[in-house]
Amino acid sequence: MKYYIMFGPPGAGKGTHAAAVREKYNLCHLSTGELLRAEIAKGSELGLHAKSLIDKGSLVPDSVVEGMIENQFNEVKGVAGFLLDGFPRTLGQARDLDAILAKRGEEVTAVISLMISDETVKQRIAHRAAIEGRADDASEETINNRIKTYHTQTEPLIEYYKAQGKYHEVQAEEPTIEQNRAKVLALMETIEK
């Protein structure tokens, strides 16, 4: 099985490009953000607890997202692999993911990192707020917090995966989705070879 990680700051296009990659390579796209939003929509206890953290732009506890990911690894059948979007987001999650995969005799295949500037993050999220209506896209304070959270807690993963020789970066600042998608798909082809 393949285990790809779609990595990058909020608004980099992880979910958007994951859709194209999933289809082409028969992968299961797992977005921890979407799984959490589904829990919020259901009104579950987990969702209720997660909502207060998400609305502030903070991360939910590692154990919560790791549990959701492991459940999906156990349940989903008939795919060539998984495409993780928005997970891992902390060094703890990255180490735990390695352990979860090792138990299954598997490992991370590659990390596809979508790089955009903080300025572009703000522009993209402002644009998305009008389209998707996500509560955590609507407040400037929450967006700034998510950017800060990305730099302090998530960015260190770049070195972690570079050290494993699994890190691949795409400059995802092209003006259109199509141009950025073409770069991501070209990178996937070199990795899959």
* Interacting residues with ligand AMP (CB under 6 A): 10, 32-33, 36, 53-54, 58-60, 65, 86-89, 93, 136, 146
DSSP classification of residue 170: E
CB of 193 to ligand AMP, least distance (A): 29
Question: For residue 28, what are the contacts with CB-CB under 8 A and spacing of at least 6?
Answer: 22, 72, 76, 79, 81, 82, 83
Cα–Cα dist 130/137, whole Å: 9
**CB-nearer residue toward ligand AMP: 13 or 86:** 86
Smallest separation (angstroms) from ligand AMP to the CB of 176: 21
> In the complex, what is the shortest distance from the CB of residue 103 to ligand AMP, in angstroms, rounded to a whole number?
19
- Nearer to ligand AMP (CB atom), residue 46 or residue 53: 53
For residue 47, give both structure tokens: 């969702």
- Give the alpha-carbon dihedral of 143, 145, 148, 154, to 10 degrees: -90
Of 128 and 183, the one with the shorter C-beta distance to ligand AMP is: 128
Q: Give the residue with the Cβ less far from ligand AMP, 55 or 174.
A: 55
Q: Give the nearer residue to ligand AMP in terms of CB position, either 151 or 186.
A: 151
* Residues forming beta bridges with residue 114, ordered by sequence position: 170
Q: Which residues of 58-79 are buried (b: 16+ CB within 10 A; e: fewer)?
A: ebbebebbbebbeeebeeeeee
Nearest distance from C-beta of residue 137 to ligand AMP, angstroms: 9
At 116, give phi and psi (nearest 5°). Answer: -140, 160
3-state secondary structure at position 11: coil
Q: Which residue is nearest to ligand AMP (CB)?
A: 33
- Smallest gap from Cβ 156 to ligand AMP, in A, equals 14
